[in-house]
Amino acid sequence: MVASVLKIKGISKSFGVHKVLHDIDLEIAKGEVHALIGENGAGKSTLMKIIGGIHRPDTGSIEVDGESVAFSNPQAAMAKGISLVHQELSLVPNLSIAQNVFSQREPTNWLGFVKWDELHKRTRELMERLGVDIDPATMVAELSVGIRQLVEIAKALSMDAKILVLDEPTSALSEKEVETLYRIVDDLKAAGVSIIFISHKLPEVFRISDRISVLRDGRMIGTVKAEDTDTDEIIHMMVGRSIEEMYPPRASSVGETVLSVEGLSRGDELSDLSFELKKGEILGFAGLVGSGRTETARAIFGADPVDAGTITLHGRTVKFKSALDAINHGVCYLTEDRKDLGLFLTKNVRTNIVSSSLKKFASQLGLLQHSGIEDTAKYYVQHVKLRPADDKPLVMNLSGGNQQKALLAKWLCADPQVLIVDEPTRGVDVGAKTEIHSHLRQLANSGVGVIVISSELPEILGLCDRVAVFNEGRITAVLDGEGTTQEDVMKYATM
Amino acid sequence: MAISKSATKSSVREFVGRREVGLFLIIVAASAILSLLTPQFLNLNNFISIATGMSYDVIVAIGLTLVLTVGGIDLSVGSILGLTGVVTTMLLRAGVAIPLAVLAGLSLGALLGALNGTFIAKFKINPFIVTLGMMAVARGASVVLTSGYFLSNLPAGYLAIGQGKWFGIPIPIYATIILVIIFDYLLRNWEPLHSIFFIGTNPDAAELSGIKVGKMLIVSYILSGVLAAAAGVFMTSRLAMGYAQFGLGAEQRAIAASVIGGASMSGGEGSIFGTFLGVLLLAIINNGFVLLGLSVYWQGVVNGLILVIAVGVDAIRRMRRGEDRD
């Protein structure tokens, strides 16, 4: 057994009352490629930020080369040879490749002036080591995402990184760039660099890693050798939690098609998506973050343009130019980002509830009937069981669950025929979650077509009649909610 | 009957807690102090002179309150007042009929406002920069058109707009009161204008709620321009001349009055009646300066301080509220 270069023991981390990491152990051997996988929100990024010195753990210890360390900032981690290559690239676009690679560490003469020749020579050497022949004076803004990633890796190498953390490095790369990255990972490994590889895509995990560690709900489920396991076992480790919540009974019967979408496409985000939504059913959109679920919803809602595709509502072809247009046709979209895109935080509950249906409370001359607004708001406060049962508190002073109920009330008030809800129970406690589920089912039973986008597989499978699985801008399968397992969905979401 | 008692209590507290009520009490207090300090304050002629003097500021500040409510700012109102006044008086001197000249002035105000609004809503340029540019352009154009001269010799019919009286009260005072009542009512009750509260609070959420964000942004700046132009008409007819420097600093007083009256520099809040009280408070303070024989040069200092204090208090209020979050 090769010596461990990094040894983590008993790491826990909470943000406020929310515990995101429970007692994590992890060992990384010298020169190994170690994949770290798990669902969205499993705690991968938090763990990596602790290793990289961005967050500090509440408890637990970190050893690098047998020496106990406590990083107070990313620079301290880098000094010990740990470098993070972020999902969101951290380069400065208006500076050159060389300036980015040697940011704050440019070789200077005794007067403090940058020695440009040496800076460029050393950058060129690093880039050549990564197999790229490029002028080090090129501005980062002019580079493709793939090359930018290589610049980040060059930056890490320039600091003599012993451990390189690659956080979803292939998510924005073309196929050719991915192959280049694999080759670089193999080269670095041969040179004795350890690599922690975070990914959602199981085929690539098996392609390049030696060992795989699985996180779920902030706990380390286990570490296995890649050659001793298979996709099924890994998926089971990723999703194998028990379903704690109770879901309302499914639709007994569904009616005619309310909404049908054909050939929806935009750039490489959405490619030729087609599906149908029937009256009275709840259709689930499953898939990983960035697989095109939210983009599809926004495109239908008229919030974003599309390149191609037909949307048919009640048998009539429609093309919404704006959210207003969609709302007027009874198509509503509850956003996943309630604070920035959904609610008016500094306004009270009443104002928020009527915000998408103001025109309904106006006379022909446009004069608002304030008593009607008050009565309606009070009705919905009762209907969604808001706590406190009052329409006057400012929404920003409500809990997450109550904010989400207020957001739901806002769209119920708009009287939708088709309601698309995006992550309707994110950051919501179990009680409010069950209530939101029963409202959605009630809505479907009353004849409204409901689409639920969720990253929580138990929610999708428990709530929905049918499930469309999204993968890289395509729908790879439409499955029955009943009888489908999380493993089935995961297979289509990661293939 | 504990329930109804506490309900009454809370609605009393709500009423007293309203910005307008607090502001009204401050105005009463300031008036009381001034009437103790000088016998000239509590006097009908003095009140009419205060009311006439503040009428231009009120009209400009109505527009500014709308723009602040929608989440923007308009630094160009003073310059638009100046330029539209100059253009109207030049047309009158060229023999254009009074209604046409006034209409031309108001249309120019609408056009300049529409330009502001279009750059801000369509090209997403910072409203501060757009209207700062418009402020310089409009003021510069006024000076170019007049070469710095006063434009007098205006027709008597035009002067009647600003100098005429009904029952001893100058017409601009009536116009101001009517505009305050109309815009206060519309902002509270007319759905299209009421929607600017949503836009100013969260433009992205407003767009996704089906509110016409771009259109209402432009409309707000147009109203701001038209109202500034209306103030320009009243001022030039009242003072019987057009002059390139009219309206200098009006934006500063209008911002201060709007914020004192309840508008927020971060948008989503504003009250026309509150703004009216804000202008009244500033006017009474300035009147006090004159009556007490203090140097007029200090007025600029005090007005500036009031602006900074009003905006500062607003910022602190928002910070406090922000702490309640999570």
pLDDT, tens digit, 9 for 90 and up, residues A227-238: 998 888 888 888
Position with higher pLDDT, B142 vs B8: B142
CA-derived radius of gyration, chain A: 26
Range of the domain at A354: 343-414
CB contact under 8 A, A340 and B207: no
Q: For residue B297, what pLDDT is reported?
A: 79
pLDDT band at A89 (very low <50, low <70, confident <90, very high): low
Longest dimension (CA), chain B: 74
Nearest-Cα distance to chain A for B203, in Å, is 9
Write out chain A residues lying below 8 Å of B205, CB-based: 340-344, 355
Contacts of B54 (CB under 8 A, 6+ apart): B176, B279, B280, B282, B283
Contacts of A85 (CB under 8 A, 6+ apart): A149, A152, A153, A156, A164, A165, A166, A167, A169
DSSP for residue A249? P
The whole-chain average pLDDT of chain A stands at 88
* CA A286 – CA A296 distance, rounded (Å): 12
In a domain, B4, yes or no: no
**Is B95 touching A (CB cutoff 8 A)?**
no
In a domain, A103, yes or no: yes
* CA B148 – CA B61 distance, rounded (Å): 26
Complex prediction ipTM? 0.85
pLDDT of residue B5 exceeding 70, the answer is no
Residue A453: both structure tokens together? 């986008």
pLDDT band at A387 (very low <50, low <70, confident <90, very high): confident
In a domain, A265, yes or no: yes
CA triplet A43, A48, A51: central angle to 5 degrees? 130
In a domain, B24, yes or no: no
Residue A113 exposed, middle or buried by CB count within 10 Å (0-12, 13-18, 19+): exposed
Nearest-Cα distance to chain A for B124, in Å, is 17
In a domain, B207, yes or no: yes
CB contact under 8 A, A341 and B205: yes
Average pLDDT over residues A348-367: 93
Position with higher pLDDT, A456 vs A470: A470
**Is A329 touching B (CB cutoff 8 A)?**
no
How many domains is chain B partitioned into structurally? 1
pLDDT band at A388 (very low <50, low <70, confident <90, very high): confident
pLDDT of residue B2 exceeding 80, the answer is no
Q: For residue B4, what pLDDT is reported?
A: 45
In a domain, A335, yes or no: no
Average pLDDT over residues A118-129: 90
Q: For residue A457, what pLDDT is reported?
A: 86
Share of chain A above pLDDT 70, in %: 96
Range of the domain at B99: 45-314
Q: Give the CATH number of the domain where residue A190 resides.
A: 3.40.50.300
Co-location of A79 and A139 in the same domain: yes
How many domains is chain A partitioned into structurally? 3
Q: For residue A494, what pLDDT is reported?
A: 83
CB contact under 8 A, A343 and B202: yes
Element (H, E) at B310: helix B297-323
In a domain, A94, yes or no: yes
Last residue of a domain, one of A204, A239, A274: A239
A470 in Cβ contact with A287 (< 8 Å): yes
Interface test with B, best of A344, A353, A365, A408 (most B CBs within 10 A): A344
Write out chain B residues lying below 8 Å of A339, CB-based: none
A397 in Cβ contact with B320 (< 8 Å): no
pLDDT tens per residue, range A180-204: 888 889 988 998 999 999 887 788 8
In a domain, A462, yes or no: yes
pLDDT band at A242 (very low <50, low <70, confident <90, very high): very low
In a domain, B319, yes or no: no
pLDDT tens per residue, range A3-17: 789 999 999 988 766
pLDDT tens per residue, range B232-270: 999 999 999 999 999 999 999 999 999 999 999 899 999
In a domain, A338, yes or no: no
* CA B135 – CA B138 distance, rounded (Å): 6
CB contact under 8 A, A397 and B324: yes
**Is B323 touching A (CB cutoff 8 A)?**
no
In a domain, B38, yes or no: no
Share of chain A above pLDDT 90, in %: 48
Co-location of A112 and A222 in the same domain: yes
Co-location of A326 and A423 in the same domain: yes
Out of B189, B190, B208, closest to residue A323 by CB: B208
**How many beta-carbon pairs under 8 angstroms link A with B?**
85
Q: Give the CATH number of the domain where residue B210 resides.
A: 1.10.3470
Out of B205, B207, B326, closest to residue A344 by CB: B205
Out of B208, B211, B269, closest to residue A335 by CB: B208
**Is B208 touching A (CB cutoff 8 A)?**
yes
* CA A257 – CA A240 distance, rounded (Å): 35
Co-location of A321 and A372 in the same domain: no
**Is B195 touching A (CB cutoff 8 A)?**
yes
In a domain, B16, yes or no: no
**Is B207 touching A (CB cutoff 8 A)?**
yes
What are the CA-CA distances from residue B120 to residues A413, B125, B229 (Å)? 32, 5, 20
* CA A165 – CA A167 distance, rounded (Å): 6
Contacts of B61 (CB under 8 A, 6+ apart): B253, B254, B257, B258, B261, B275, B276, B278, B279
In a domain, A336, yes or no: no
